[in-house]
Amino acid sequence: MNQGITGRILEYVAVFEQEHDGGFSVVIPALPGCISEGDTFEEAQENIQEAAELYLSVMKERRNLIPKQSRFVVAAVGVKV
């Protein structure tokens, strides 16, 4: 992330999902509504970084608290069908 927001680098968990028709969608759960996509994983990664920087910039302009990354657990869930 660009250091222009607060002079420091914040890290967030981004969740990437490969789409059936190609490309990736990506969200940052700690930043509700911060969503992006890309034709490749690398493009999606760049796009979500830009989206997060814009998201945090708006939060700062509105004098809202910048969300911190909460603890995150990823686990498989068995579902009976």
Tell me the pLDDT tens digit for each residue of 44-64: 999 999 999 999 999 999 998
Lateral strand order in the sheet of 15-18: 15-18, 24-27, 35-38
Cβ-contact 21, 33 below 8 angstroms: no
Q: How far apart are CA 20 and CA 24, in angstroms?
A: 9
Question: What per-residue confidence (pLDDT) applies to 19?
Answer: 97
Domain assignment of residue 48, given as a range: 1-81
Residue with the bigger pLDDT between 55 and 69: it is 55
Residues, the chain: 81
CATH of the domain at 49: 3.30.160.250
Question: What per-residue confidence (pLDDT) applies to 72?
Answer: 80
Tell me the pLDDT tens digit for each residue of 2-47: 444 446 889 999 999 999 999 999 999 999 999 999 999 999 999 9
Structural domain tally of the chain? 1
pTM of the model: 0.80
Of 12, 15, 10, the closest CA to residue 74 belongs to: 15
54: how many CB neighbours lie within 10 A of its CB? 12
